[in-house]
Structure 1
Amino acid sequence: MSTLVSAPVVAASASPRRRTRRRRVAWLLILVATVAVIAVLSVTFGNRTVSLPDIVAGLTGDIETTSAAAVARRVPRTLLALLVGAALAMAGTVMQGVTRNPLADPQILGINGGASLAVVTGLAFFGITSSLGYIWLAMLGAGLAAVFVYTIGSLGRGGASPLKLALAGAATAVAFTSLVSAILLPRIDVMSVFRFWQIGGVGGATFDKIALLLPFLAVGAVICIASSGALNSLALGDELATGLGERVRTARLVSALGAVILCGSATALAGPIGFVGLIVPHVCRLIVGPDHRWLLPVSALVGGGLLTVADVVGRVIARPQEVEVGVVTALIGAPFFIAIVRRQKMRAL
């Protein structure tokens, strides 16, 4: 009798899991196809709309026309936008999981600000101008900023609550911005180099820069994906995570390390682009749910697609000039941020 009863129960419980898995796989395939289409559109549209033969000529290196030359410039730009968007989205997803804060984002938590301050300091006082130097400086600044914000947010009763972390991050970001301005104002030479980077953009992309960036992004992504199970445990709360055998502090430290590597290296080459890490995780949870094993790769796809679309929009709306991608993401992200704050306030009532 027990066998007859248990078999249908097991089948019934397995069926929803299979349906959920199929739905997630379907979404993953749809997103891969969508990102591929976005990449083609990014190469096609800009100051000059190009044709398929021009795209082929630009990809093969047969640059005889202005359109083919435009394609040759847009290909690394598109690749950098995909990589930076994926890195920022994954970093934001991990930060929201580590802090259990829906408002967590590399910009809001002051991580981008720390990276910017480190890069400016290296430019102004140590004469560092190489892309590799930017990457190491940005990761160092992002890491120190993360430690500082978490330390400040942990003071007082209750430890590092989501609200305290958000307030500490916002205050730290403002302080870092002021320090950056104080360093730049008397140094016109440094300001001319830094001002375009500070807005955030992918217009200066080259394959050499991308080659420098890839190892850091790969390491950060592997750390974050390897921490997906720990992030699922942390979402249940520290006590339950400990009961499940998770080392909470170690899990937070390792996960945060992966996020800092992703955020710092992406910020080094593209500048402090905001709101991608805030928007994407919320959208992806609606698609695949809260399981970080699926959430992280889906966030990478959506983040890369979002930043590439923002770059295309910035190129098209102000032709023949361009609007930097950091401005476009801010225009998209600010209303989204307000909506999240209002939603959290309504839940608290």
Structure 2
Amino acid sequence: MSTLPLAREAASGPLGGGLGRRPALPASVAIAVAALVGAAALSLLVGARAVPLEAVWDGSHPLHPVVQARLDRTLLGLAVGAALGLAGALMQGLTRNPLADPGILGVNAGATFAMVVALTVLGTTGLAELLPVAFLGAAVAAVGVHAIASIGRDGATPMKLAITGAALTAGLSSWTTGLLLADRKTMESFRFWQVGTVGGRGLDVLLTGLPFLLVGAVLALAGARLLNTLALGEDLARGLGRRTTRDRIVVGLAVVLLAGTATALAGPIAFVGLVVPHVVRSLVGPDHVRVLPFSMLAGAVLVVVADTAGRVVLPPSEVQVGIMFAAVGVPVFIALVRRTGRAL
């Protein structure tokens, strides 16, 4: 028995926004690819100083070093945006909560707290060294949330996961603030990362985090049909032969890998995991087999566009992508709510 029609029906409620008229799949793919190429091109050519197209190909052009520097941040922006968009789609599918993002499991808070501990206690300063620490913090936080939420007869239900994650996030945020207030030097170095930025990072930093991102993406895409089944509800999913606890662990591990690594690389960038899945579902429908890969593309596009816009709004200064995406993401999210005619 195929679960896909049932999953589509279930997802059309709290998450799917109905199955209204949408572009055909080939058109959606063409739109996504064109947007990705366009965003990358703009990121290379547009900034506080415009760069002519020939500077991209001509290594002897005086502005070619500018293109090289922008290429590093563009690649990082694409990777971080894809990871956050995919993690957000996973979280909304896992919890069946349209306002969920990776922070609901304490992943971002765990990564942040672990990095602050490493900075203050261990004296770690290099981002490459902080990456495994942040991943470990994210993993411990996610496992802790799931373990606490699993206590009781019903196990780790979506509601219990959300409540436990919110409580842990509040606690970790308080401890993080306490450590920062006690160490002014750490606060100075941490505040630039805290706003969320893809600038000033070398390609070596991305290469350090890339294995974690690739493993997370593979787990996520392989779990698309698991999310379709989980959308039917715990009882029906178990009746169809799914081991829901195992499925949630697999999806949760993918979220930890994606969101934890992205947070370590670029800092906490809000609204990506929240907005992107809704935009994608309006184009391709609620089937996670389509939602997950398109969320990767859309997340990459939106982060790179936000970073590019941040370079030109207040020249010669630069608005960090975390701040810029909040300014861009809120209107997009409001427009989406109005378009679907639903209060999320």
Q: TM-score range by the shorter chain?
A: 0.7 to 0.9
1:206-246 residue CA offsets vs partner (Å, 9 max, x unmatched): 11112112111111100111111111111111111112211
Which structure 2 residue ranges, 5 or more long, are not aligned?
Answer: 1-20
Give the aligned residue type for 1:54.
A
Match of 1:101 among 89, 97, 118: 97
Query: How far apart are residue 319 of structure 1 and its match?
Result: 0.9
Runs of 4+ in 1 over 4 A off after TM superposition: 151-164, 334-344
Counterparts of 2:316 and 2:22, CA distance in 1: 46
Equivalent residue number for residue 65 of structure 2? 69
1:236-264 residue CA offsets vs partner (Å, 9 max, x unmatched): 11111112211111111011101110111
Counterparts of 2:163 and 2:323, CA distance in 1: 23
Equivalent residue number for residue 210 of structure 2? 214
Equivalent residue number for residue 246 of structure 2? 250
1:99-150 residue CA offsets vs partner (Å, 9 max, x unmatched): 1111111234432111100111111111222333222111111122223334
Structure 1 residues 337 and 169: alpha-carbon distance in aligned structure 2, compared to 1, 3 A threshold: farther
Counterparts of 2:242 and 2:97, CA distance in 1: 20
1:295-325 residue CA offsets vs partner (Å, 9 max, x unmatched): 1110000000000011011111111001111
Give aligned pairs, total.
Answer: 324
Give the aligned residue type for 2:293.
P
Give the aligned residue type for 1:81.
G
Equivalent residue number for residue 38 of structure 1? 39
Question: Quick check: 1:201–1:325 contact (8 Å CA) kept in 2?
Answer: yes
Structure 1 residues 329 and 151: alpha-carbon distance in aligned structure 2, compared to 1, 3 A threshold: farther
Query: How far apart are residue 183 of structure 1 and its match?
Result: 0.8
Give the aligned residue type for 1:32.
V
Equivalent residue number for residue 295 of structure 1? 291
Counterparts of 2:45 and 2:79, CA distance in 1: 19
Q: Does 1:143 align with 2:139?
A: yes
Counterparts of 1:262 and 1:282, CA distance in 2: 19
CA RMSD of aligned residues (A): 2.8
Q: Does 1:116 align with 2:112?
A: yes
1:58-107 residue CA offsets vs partner (Å, 9 max, x unmatched): xx4x4x52x32221110010110011000001011111111111111123
Give the aligned residue type for 2:233.
G
Question: Quick check: 2:84–2:299 contact (8 Å CA) kept in 1?
Answer: yes
Equivalent residue number for residue 18 of structure 2? none
Structure 1 residues 334 and 155: alpha-carbon distance in aligned structure 2, compared to 1, 3 A threshold: farther
Equivalent residue number for residue 308 of structure 1? 304
Alignment of 1:154-165 (within 5 A): 160-165=156-161
Match of 1:134 among 103, 125, 130: 130
Q: Which is greater in Rg? A: 1
Which structure 1 residue ranges, 5 or more long, are not aligned?
Answer: 1-19
Query: How far apart are residue 292 of structure 1 and its match?
Result: 1.2
User: TM-score w.r.t. structure 2 length?
Assistant: 0.86
Q: Does 1:228 align with 2:230?
A: no
